Amino acid sequence: MSNPLVGIIMGSDSDLDIMGSAAKTLEEFGVENEVRIISAHRTPAEMAEYAQQAASRGLKVIIAGAGGSAHLPGMTASDTDLPVIAVPVKRDHHGHEAIYSSIKMPPGIPLAVMPENGAKNAALLAIRILALGNPAIAEKYAAFVEKQRSEVINKDTQAQADWESLLK
Ligand code: RP5
């Protein structure tokens, strides 16, 4: 996209199955984004360049996903003043090293950490941040919240009706 507001970066294309839902959620809200494969370990210079240039390129938020040692989110947060949201990528053969790595940032370098594989929530948090200065995005987010609320209320109404019919 030409004017991305959110940069989604990940350590490997093998993270795409998890991180793709961040892009999908942003698309649903019409938020322009870009997806890049950037590794803290395999392409450290590119990681630094991306983080250092992100704000001047017009990005407002960075979502960074990585598994294992997962240095990408924290190191990116160290090299930009933009809000950075970490998505710890968790596979069956992993322990919880990625989330522990992200939540142990030193004082002075803030990093928002999502649940393991929480790429959708990362996108929603990015949308909330953007909504602070963008009424159109705020309106879409409010509609999303209302739709989610109605769906739960409808399920509750249905569950009560089903339960009552079971008792008869
Ligand atoms: C991490 O190591 C990457 O983010 C990915 O989660 C994992 C494995 O990468 P590949 O070997 O599949 O490219 O740094």
Q: What is the pLDDT of residues 16-60, one digit of tens each?
A: 999 999 999 999 999 999 999 999 999 999 999 999 999 999 999
Architecture of domain 6-133 in CATH?
3-Layer(aba) Sandwich (3.40)
Cα(18)–Cα(21) distance, rounded to whole angstroms? 6
pTM: 0.94
The alpha carbon of 88 and the centre of ligand 1 are apart by a number of angstroms equal to 11
Pocket, ligand 1, Cβ cutoff 6 A: 10-12, 14-15, 39, 66-68, 89
Instruction: Say if residues 45 and 100 touch (Cβ distance below 8 Å).
Output: no
Kindly state the average pLDDT of the residues 107-132: 98
Cα 84 to middle of ligand 1, angstroms: 19
> Ligand 1 centre from 68 Cα, in Å?
7
Q: How many CA atoms lie within 13 A of 10 on its CB side?
A: 24
User: In what order do the strands lie in the sheet containing 33-37?
Assistant: 33-37, 6-10, 61-67, 84-89, 112-113
Q: Work out the widest C-alpha separation in the chain, in whole angstroms.
A: 69
Question: Any bridge partners for residue 65, and if so which?
Answer: 10, 87
Q: And the tokens for 64? A: 């960074």
> CB count, 10 Å around CB of 156?
10
**Which ranges in 29-112 belong to alpha helices (H)?**
44-54, 72-78, 97-103
For residue 16, how many other CB atoms are within 10 A of its CB? 14
Domain parsing of the chain, residue ranges: 6-133, 135-168
Q: Of 60, 73, 76, nearest to 15 (Cα)? A: 73
Q: What is the pLDDT of residues 80-93, one digit of tens each?
A: 999 999 999 999 99
